[in-house]
Amino acid sequence: MTRRFFVAACLIGAVLLTSCSKAESTKQAHSQAETETSMEVGTETSTAGVGSVNDYWDGVGKQGLLMSPFVDPEPPMEYIRLGLKHDNPDIRWFCAYKILKYASQLDQQDRDVLEQLTKDESNNVRKAATFVKSILQETFEDDRIIHSPVNNQIAFHLYHESQFNDGELWVAQDGKPERLTKLDGSITKLAYSPDGNKISAEYGGRIWGALAIVDVNSGNRILPDIIGAIIADPANGYDVDPQKVDRFDPYLQIIEWSPDSTRLLVSYAFSSGLDQYDYGWAVYETDLDKVMKVSPSKLPAYDTKPEGFGWDVE
């Protein structure tokens, strides 16, 4: 009996020892996986080639996000969540905007963190978090949100505090924000047509400004060369070749839509030579993609109207 008891005890001990080893191995594997997740945040990051979270955000923080918030490769959701709590306020600001891209995936904890950022010590972070919160909660209280005149749709762009934004035009309806289109420049102004079917967008860079007309349903767009059409028509009195001017500096600004949503009044400006600038207004027909009328000005037109202008007399 004693020998049998001894053998049985040895067998039981061996089984327990094996079980403990397996448990420890499993624990170590989970621990390693958690460490790797905190550093790599899953397959998506590996595919994007981002690297570790700390290295990634350290690199991003050196890019000057408030000059231009372009980040390549794009950070995955888990990186954004960690970035919301980063020591660098520029990264918190960037992530407060960027998290809107993952609106459908946000949980209550994400929303709580965003709420905390509305009280952040950085003014830029507070503005970004408040803006995004207004969209997610559908309060739309921020005056930088553009409202459709016919329904509850809104239009907006992100990164308002940066010198240049990413050119992405967003819309939201029924609590579902989505990117409508991306323009090759920084958006400066948005305006709905009176029928709510189109959005006009000013966009550009440091020395140029252009115009886009975007269909709100399809995202299809027209990128009219309004200034090109103006100087190409001899009736307008301009004798200038943009290719021969050192700094042509073309600019367009939206003044207003016509009541029937078919035309736009815009102001324009460009340089025809050293210290020589030309200004004026133009009426652009969106459906025909055609400049219908040009009114040159001796002074900068900017956001004014020509004297005596009215759509009823056009």
Reading the block at residue 55, the tokens are: 């290295």
Is residue 30's pLDDT more than 60? no
Query: Residues 175-232: pLDDT tens digits?
Result: 789 999 999 999 999 999 999 999 999 999 999 999 999 999 999 999 999 999 999 9
Which band of pLDDT confidence, cut at 50, 70 and 90, is reported for residue 45?
very low
* pLDDT exceeds cutoff 90 at 22: no
To the nearest whole number, what is the mean pLDDT of the chain?
A: 85
| Each residue's pLDDT tens digit, 82-118 | 999 999 999 999 999 999 999 999 999 999 999 999 9
- In this prediction, residues 268-294 reach a mean pLDDT of 95
Q: Measured between alpha carbons, how far is 298 from 252 in angstroms, rounded to an integer?
A: 16
**Model pLDDT, residue 50:** 52
Q: What pLDDT, in 10s, does the model give residues 186-195?
A: 999 999 999 9
pLDDT for residue 288 is more than 80: yes
Neighbours of 14 (CB within 10 A): 10
User: What confidence score (pLDDT) does residue 313 get?
Assistant: 63
pLDDT of residue 273: 87
Average pLDDT rounded to a whole number, residues 114-136? 97
CA–CA gap between residue 193 and residue 215 (Å, rounded): 10
**Rounded Cα distance, 131 and 126, in Å:** 8
Q: What contacts 301, CB < 8 A, 6 or more positions away?
A: 253, 267, 268, 269, 279, 280, 281
Given a cut of 90, whether residue 37 has pLDDT beyond it is: no
Better pLDDT: 300 or 35: 300
Q: What is the mean pLDDT of residues 1-26?
A: 39
This model's pTM is above 0.85? no
pLDDT, position 74 = 85
- The count of other CB atoms within 10 Å of the CB of residue 3 is 7
Residues 6 or more apart whose Cβ sits within 8 Å of residue 62: none
Residue 25 has pLDDT above 60, yes or no: no
User: Average pLDDT for residues 146-153, to the nearest whole number?
Assistant: 95
Instruction: List, as one string, the DSSP characters of the chain.
Output: -HHHHHHHHHHHHHHHHHHHHHHHHHHHHHHHHHHHHHHH-HHHHHHHT---HHHHHHHHHTS-TTT----SSPPPHHHHHHHTT-SSHHHHHHHHHHGGGGGGG--HHHHHHHHHHTT-SSHHHHHHHHHHHHHHTT----TTSEEPSSSS-EEE-S-TTSSS---EEEEEETTEEEEEEE-SSEEEEEEE-TTSSEEEEEEE-SS-EEEEEEETTT--EE---HHHHHHH-GGG-----GGG-TT---EEEEEEE-TTSSEEEEEEEEEEETTEEEEEEEEEETTTTEEEEEEEESS--TT---TT--GGG-
Q: pLDDT category, 18, cuts 50, 70, 90?
A: very low
* pLDDT higher than threshold 90 for residue 312: no
Burial class from Cβ neighbours inside 10 Å (0-12, 13-18, 19+) for residue 99 reads buried
Greater confidence (158 vs 21) lies with 158
User: Average pLDDT for residues 67-95, to the nearest whole number?
Assistant: 93
Share of the chain above pLDDT 90, in %: 74
- 110-123 pLDDT, tens digit per residue, is 999 999 999 999 99
Specify whether the CB–CB gap between 284 and 263 falls below 8 A.
Answer: yes
Task: Indicate the pLDDT class of residue 72, thresholds 50, 70 and 90.
Answer: confident
